[in-house]
Chain A
Amino acid sequence: MKVKEKVWTYRDYLELNDDKRYEVINGRLYEMPAPTVFHQRILNALNLLIYMFSKRNKVGEVFISPVDVILSETSIVQPDLVFISKENKDIVKDRIYGSPDLVVEIVSPTSYYRDRYEKFRIYEEAGIKEYWLVYPGEKAIEVWVLKEGKYELYSIASGEGKVKSKVLKGLRIDLKEIFGEG
């Protein structure tokens, strides 16, 4: 007899109380290791720019992880950074119930597959308009934008150059500001 794997739901997730960080993706539970200093340094730099932009232009609100985003009964994620537009602000309660307008994930060896392929599909299906993938090792940023329900590569830079956002109109980020010089 085959033992069926447990399908994790939002309710099960809330009952976890071991002080570790988890995500639930399509009913599967993933433990999230603590991020490294390199990861956090990049997140700080990105957050500073995106937060300032969003505040100055009064377009919405920015949160950095850990914050729960409940995309569905069986998909609860903690993206590295989320932006929620003013128009969408009703999804922000004690947690975020629904799809943010923009999500950023900073890739690491332990999260590469999940971020690049699994969450990519989850975010696409959830209708998240823009998905940024940041690759610290290759000093690269990709900006994916939803078009007819599928992500299309909207902006990309690696090594040097700038990337731009579609959701945050006018936001351009120079890789130097994120990864430092050289």
Chain B
Amino acid sequence: MKVKEKVWTYKDYLELNDDKRYEVINGRLHKMPAPHFEHQDILGELFTIMRIYVKRKDLGKIISAPFDVILSEDTIVQPDIVFISKGSLKNVKEGRLFGSPDLVVEVVSPTSYHRDRYEKFRIYEEAGIKEYWIVYPGEKAIEVWILKEGKYELYSIASGEGKVKSEVLKGFEVDLKEVFNEG
């Protein structure tokens, strides 16, 4: 007899109480290791720049991980950065977001590369998240993907040097230098 793998749900997720960080993607439970210094350094820079921009323009909220985003009954993620537009703030309940943020950022690491670039890419696309930023510290690259007829299209990209821009956050652009600290 084949043993069926457990399908994790939001309810199961809430009952976890071992103080570790997890995500549930299509019913599968993924443990999230503590991020490294470099990851947090880059994340911190980008978060600060985005948060200041969004606050000044009064567009909504920029929140950083760990923060639960419940995309569906069997998919609960903690993206590195989420932007929740003013109109979507009503979906924040009990300190969590129920539904899709307007923009998501993931800073890739060796342990998350496959998940961020392919698994979550598909999940975010299906969830109708309008914009997805993928940051590659090793390659000093940022990709900005935007949803077009239900599929992500590469909207802006820079590596090594240059700037990337957002569509969802109108007028927002960031120089790689500011994120990757020059060298």
B114 to A156, Cβ gap below 8 A?
yes
In the complex, whether A17 has a CB less than 8 A from a CB of chain B is no
In the complex, whether A159 has a CB less than 8 A from a CB of chain B is yes
Given the complex, which residues of B lie within 8 Å of A159, measured CB to CB?
Answer: 109-111, 113
A135 to B154, Cβ gap below 8 A?
no
B110 to A112, Cβ gap below 8 A?
no
B141 to A109, Cβ gap below 8 A?
yes
Given the complex, which residues of A lie within 8 Å of B136, measured CB to CB?
Answer: 112, 135, 137-138
B159 to A110, Cβ gap below 8 A?
yes
Given the complex, which residues of B lie within 8 Å of A157, measured CB to CB?
Answer: 114
Digitize B141-158: 1 where CB-to-A-CB distance is under 8 Å, 0 elsewhere: 100000000000010011
Could you say which interface size class chain A belongs to?
A: 20 to 34
CB distance from A132 to the nearest CB of B (A): 15
B108 to A138, Cβ gap below 8 A?
yes
CB distance from A17 to the nearest CB of B (A): 27
B141 to A113, Cβ gap below 8 A?
yes
Q: How far is the CA of A153 from the CA of B160 in the complex (A)?
A: 25
Q: How far is the CA of A40 from the CA of B138 in the complex (A)?
A: 16
Given the complex, which residues of A lie within 8 Å of B159, measured CB to CB?
Answer: 109-113
27 contacts between A and B (CB under 8 A): A107-B139, A109-B140, A109-B160, A110-B160, A113-B141, A113-B157, A113-B159, A117-B154, A117-B157, A135-B136, A135-B139, A137-B136, A137-B137, A137-B139, A138-B109, A138-B110, A138-B139, A139-B138, A140-B110, A140-B114, A156-B118, A158-B110, A158-B111, A158-B113, A158-B114, A159-B109, A159-B113
